[in-house]
Structure 1
Amino acid sequence: MTTTATTATTGTTATDTYALAELDKETRMGALGSETGAREIRRIDLSNFAHRQDAIADELWDAAVDVGFFQVVGHGIDLAEVRKAFAMTERFFALPESVKAQYPLRKALNVGWESRAQVRPSTGTPDQKESYQITRPHMEGLWPTDEELAGFQATMLAFEGQCWQVAMQVLSCFARKLGFAPDFFAHAHDPSKASYQSTLRLLHYFATPPEQQAHLGLWRAGAHTDFDCLTLLFQRQGQGGLQVCPGKEMDSQAWTSVTPDEEAITCNIGDMLMRWSDDQLPSNFHRVKNPLPGEYMGPRYSIAFFAQANRDATIEGPGRKYPAIAAGDYLNQRVAANFKAY
């Protein structure tokens, strides 16, 4: 039987207890830890989705419950489109800093460009990267001009739309497993609404200078969980560094590296969906480590799509384990804890 759940705002605000508990966990995840290759990051084929949805849903659920991370192939985004988005990403970050600074991060709206502004509670040091956030309703005045970067806006909006489609396919499987209508999360992430807050994030991790290669006090991205429902991550061949640590192994901090594969999208459950599932689906820690001597030391580019429920959607699990909270309020709590004044 399919149950229903509202995605309209209730006007009520939950206490900060849940978010504070997450942040407390994060502050304990700054150690180097160890690496293990014993953990499997499963690959799931989404092809022929309409006819295989039940089997795909079973595979996604099992992978998500086990590790919280998985990779999808057969997702329908042509490799040429992925490469085009990466080429445009690299061109954006190659712009002079004075040009990028015209489009600064607006933290409250999660849009615009920042550099070394994200300080993780796990490390207390700035991530060694710059990023540019695209959130459709809030981009006025934040797009580079065609003179600065021809075709950028059209290319990235088209790619964002493709990412949304894949994310909603995956989320429809989780909706069915949770007893919601299959289109429940599509309504909660409606891009036609002004409250839409899903974000496409372009990322450039800086090359590691020789004098910093053995400096463990810096991280390309410190250990963290994502704030959203579902993350889709695109990686370039040969530009590794992503590592995963399931929550059940927090104390031992045993990390597994996720090898980049440009034909696969690496996905993970975020905090919103963990809460929405009454903790059935875990949002697990991950990080981007600095390369070690002998590894590739050059710049690293990645593209992440964060499926974040519309600001006026209400996050409430089928068993109501936690108080209902508007997705906008929830996201604001998490962003405020991760970015310095900007």
Structure 2
Amino acid sequence: MADRLVPVISLRDFEARREEITKQLVEAAEFAGFFTLVDHGISVEEIEAQFALSKTFFDLPAEVKGRTPHDRKTNNGWEYKAQLRPSTGTYDQKESLWLMRSSQWPSDTDVPEFRKTTEHFMAKCASVSNQVLSCFSAALGFPEGHLTTANDVTRADCMTQLRLIHYPPSENAVGTWRAGSHTDIGCLTLLFQRDGEDGLEICPGRESYTSFGMGDTFTPLPAKTGPIVVNIGDMLMAWSDDRLKSNFHRVRAKDTGKSPSRYSIAYFNQGRKDFLLQGPEKKYPPITVGEWFAESVARNFGRQVATSPS
């Protein structure tokens, strides 16, 4: 079921196959809102190295992790079970480290080579994102570079973030939510998982980015090291005049026995704060990305808030 619902798309020979890849990406985004990328240029070794750094950081004592404190204003830094989901009425059972190019970083004393390795990984994520966004730009009728310019990480107003996530092991969480049902506020999310650390479930069925509607069935998406799970966020759904779907997803504990640690890494393309957002058909009025974020949080507050991915 998951293989049919979430197509696997190869980025091999990207320039030569751009038209074919664009068609595959759009078909996936119009229905599932999710797809899996392979042959994307980030090696398994690079992904494993980033996960190793993530584990090293999360294995540190709380007082050491707290040296990179979470800042509510910028949403950067380390947080522990701090994300309340209106969809469940409980806090997500995870800790995470939010990072931007300009944010505070863990020191090399605490985690050797952390910033150097992570910035290299983020650059690779930006490259993959730009390939996908350039395809969507053309398919939607924008200039090819429109969405990549809107998410240019070299610009000071870019809000793109990397999130390292750890779900601690749980003894008695059978069938509960490690992360409650939600969509992503941003433009495009790249999610990295590790072999055997399952739990992600997805649910198509949303027709408007302002609605909270979804289908009846959540489908598990097995975790694998190497492929990148990509999903459309609310921002890109609005930018496409609701053509590309930002659908609900969650992380569920095992139905039997103990749920082991789960690690994931999410790269959020979140746009440039001062960039103007409006779809080609002008279904919604023009708004800056920064204003759109503020309105999205206000619109979703108290309901199924669109926030970060799994």
TM over 0.5: yes
Give the gaps of 5 or more residues in structure 2: 208-212
Give the gaps of 5 or more residues in structure 1: 1-35
| Counterparts in 2 of 1:37 and 1:201: CA distance versus 1, 3 Å | closer
Q: Which residue pairs with 1:213 in the alignment?
A: 173
SS in structure 1 of the partner of residue 12 of structure 2:
coil
Equivalent positions of 1:179-198 (< 5 A) are 179-198=141-160
SS in structure 2 of the partner of residue 305 of structure 1:
strand
Q: Do the aligned residues in 2 keep the contact of 1:205 with 1:301 (CA within 8 Å)? A: yes
Residue in structure 2 matching 1:328, options 276, 287, 290: 290
CA displacement at 1:159 relative to structure 2: 0.4
| Counterparts in 2 of 1:314 and 1:251: CA distance versus 1, 3 Å | closer
Q: Do the aligned residues in 2 keep the contact of 1:277 with 1:317 (CA within 8 Å)? A: yes
| Counterparts in 2 of 1:227 and 1:129: CA distance versus 1, 3 Å | same
CA displacement at 1:107 relative to structure 2: 2.3
Q: Do the aligned residues in 2 keep the contact of 1:204 with 1:300 (CA within 8 Å)? A: yes
Q: Do the aligned residues in 1 keep the contact of 2:151 with 2:269 (CA within 8 Å)? A: yes
Q: Do the aligned residues in 2 keep the contact of 1:108 with 1:332 (CA within 8 Å)? A: no
| Counterparts in 2 of 1:156 and 1:333: CA distance versus 1, 3 Å | farther
Q: Which residue pairs with 1:253 in the alignment?
A: 216
CA distance in structure 2 between the partners assigned to 1:213 and 1:242 by the alignment: 15
| Counterparts in 2 of 1:334 and 1:90: CA distance versus 1, 3 Å | farther
CA displacement at 1:40 relative to structure 2: 2.1
- The structure with higher relative contact order (CA 8 Å, sep 6+) is 1
CA distance in structure 1 between the partners assigned to 2:11 and 2:271 by the alignment: 23
- 1:49 alignment partner AA: F
Q: Which residue pairs with 1:129 in the alignment?
A: 94
CA displacement at 1:39 relative to structure 2: 5.0
Does 2:38 match 1:76?
A: no
SS in structure 2 of the partner of residue 99 of structure 1:
helix
Does 2:211 match 1:282?
A: no
User: Percent identity over the alignment?
Assistant: 44
Residues 309-333 of structure 1: CA deviation (Å, up to 9, x unaligned):
1111111111111122211222244
CA distance in structure 1 between the partners assigned to 2:57 and 2:41 by the alignment: 25
Larger radius of gyration: 1
Does 2:119 match 1:157?
A: yes
Does 2:65 match 1:100?
A: yes
Q: Normalising by structure 1, what TM-score?
A: 0.82
**How many residues are treated as equivalent by the alignment?**
296
- 2:250 alignment partner AA: R
Over aligned residues, Cα RMSD in angstroms? 1.9
Q: Which residue pairs with 1:318 in the alignment?
A: 280
Equivalent positions of 1:1-342 (< 5 A) are 39-137=4-102, 139=103, 142-209=104-171, 212-214=172-174, 218-248=176-206, 250=213, 253-294=216-257, 297-334=259-296, 337=301
CA distance in structure 2 between the partners assigned to 1:220 and 1:68 by the alignment: 22
SS in structure 1 of the partner of residue 116 of structure 2:
helix
CA distance in structure 1 between the partners assigned to 2:43 and 2:3 by the alignment: 31
